[in-house]
Amino acid sequence: MGYIRRPDYYRNFKCISSECTDSCCQEWEIDIDDETLEYYMQVEGEFGDRLRKHIKIEEMEEAHFIQTKEERCPFLNECGLCDIFIHLGEEHLSQICTHHPRYYDWFLEGEEAGLGLCCEEAARLILQKSGYPVFEVMMDEENDRERDAQADDEDVIFQRKIEQMLFDMREKLFKIIKPDVNGKEDNPDEKMKELYKAAGRFQCEYEDVMFPMCQEDLEDDETDFVGGGKEENEFRNQASYHNWNEQFWQKEFLEKLITFYLELEINDENWWKLLGEIRRNLSEILNKRGEFLKYYQENLYEYEQLMIYFIFRHFMKARNDDAVFEKIVFALISTDFIQMLDIYEWMMSGEITLKSQVNICKLYSKEIEYDEENMEQVSRFLS
């Protein structure tokens, strides 16, 4: 029997519709899946004509709604509600409208689901103080017959082994972040240091299984083989003794990182302005970090929740590109970069509210996580 795994806050999500201050019905190009498009083409009457008038269909591209001059979905009305929902019902919304901000990942034995940080209501749920997150597992009988048919296939057996190894690694990462069993909560900096050590160790362990080499091969080729070369493994092992926090919170590294982010595709002008302000005030931000951490002491758990979010969402993708180290480092960089944005917000306004934290998180997520081209560039940067 298969499974569906998801964080426990997943079931509490409900779109806040017109109360949302940053509607997903604006600024985003909204695609229309084939099944929904076929239905829209058959809707009769005045609303059917309106539907088809605002749909763009091109060869080799998914159909989508034509945005207004204000970059809004043409069916987002003045009250912040969806006219398609009102006229046709939720069951006839495009798939992306029904699912967003939910995301899914499929494995041999089941699937996982979560909520994306780019949505302000999802961000609020992710950031809430709920202790170590519980991942609910529900049984799913779909596709069991297909899985059983593949059970003896050697490739499937090996893929299952890799998946399980990565699941075990991810669980170990979660345990590093989990508050101490005696109630003592370590500083997130210490947990990041341990996560970074684990990143190098796990990459080597993964490569030993994925790219096994005999001793004779190692002696003949110490540098060229991507999985087993000595120089490659020594590079990964550097994380075993390097302090992540000492590396990240260095002006030289942060200047390089900010410059890199400025060179990516910019979707929101506010992001471009914010990055520029961060770069200009970087020295003061670094000097004020210790003071900020004392001010934000009661809310440092938010960074633990962000680490868990980024690891849950991205770590298992390593089964597709073998980049275990990179997936963990992306979680560390993303969490600390958000903290840097928090420090600047605190410097400018004198406080960090839940609203401002949610806005910072969703802006980062929209610009980095939810831009496929930017994520590809980030992957190259980290590797």
Q: What is the pLDDT of residues 7-43, one digit of tens each?
A: 999 999 988 777 878 777 777 788 999 999 999 999 9
Query: Is there a single domain that holds both residue 158 and residue 47?
Result: no
192 and 86, same structural domain?
no
Per-residue pLDDT reduced to its tens digit, 157-214: 999 999 999 999 999 999 999 866 555 566 889 999 999 999 999 999 999 998 886 4
Cα 59 off chain centre by: 30
- Yes or no: say if 377 and 266 are a contact pair by the CB < 8 Å rule: no
Predicted TM-score of the model (pTM): 0.87
Higher pLDDT, 219 or 254: 254
Provide the residue type at 150 as one letter: Q
Verify that 281 and 350 share a domain, yes or no. yes
Q: Are residues 75 and 205 both part of a single domain?
A: no
Reply yes or no on whether the pLDDT at 227 is more than 50.
no
pLDDT value of residue 318: 96
Which residue range(s) make up the domain with 90? 25-99
Same domain, 218 and 297: yes
Going from the C-alpha of 247 to that of each of 161, 241, 290, the distances in angstroms are 34, 12, 16
Asked if the structure places residue 262 within a domain, the reply is yes
| Residue 221 in domain | yes
* Euclidean distance between CA atoms 89 and 66, whole angstroms: 21
CA atoms within 13 A on the CB side of 334: 30
Indicate if 242 and 179 belong to the same structural domain: yes
Both tokens of 251, joined, read: 């002006």
**Distance in angstroms (rounded) separating the CA atoms of residues 380 and 369:** 14
Looking at residue 134, the DSSP 8-state letter turns out to be P
What SS3 state is found at 68? coil
pLDDT band of residue 225 (cuts 50, 70, 90) is very low
Residues 312 and 229 in one domain: yes
Using the 3D structure, point to which of 56, 81, 99 is the last residue of a domain.
Answer: 99
Domains contained in the chain, number? 2
Model confidence at 351, pLDDT cuts 50, 70, 90, reads: very high
Q: Which of 99, 124, 142 is the last residue of a domain?
A: 99
Same domain assignment for residues 363 and 286: yes
How many residues does this entry show for the chain?
383
Q: Is 311 strand, coil or helix?
A: helix
Task: Measure the CA–CA gap between 257 and 7, rounded to whole angstroms.
Answer: 31
Q: Tell which of 56, 79, 99 closes a domain.
A: 99
* Nearest alpha-carbon partner for 339 in 298, 284, 378, 302: 302
Indicate the SS3 state at residue 80.
Answer: coil
- Whole-Å CA distances, 78 to 19, 72, 130: 12, 11, 36
Helix (H) or strand (E) holding 205: helix 188-210
Pair (79, 220) in one structural domain:
no
DSSP state of 265: P
Residue 91 sits in the same domain as residue 165 = no
**Are residue 172 and residue 294 in the same domain, yes or no?**
yes
Helix (H, G, I), strand (E, B) or coil at 242: coil
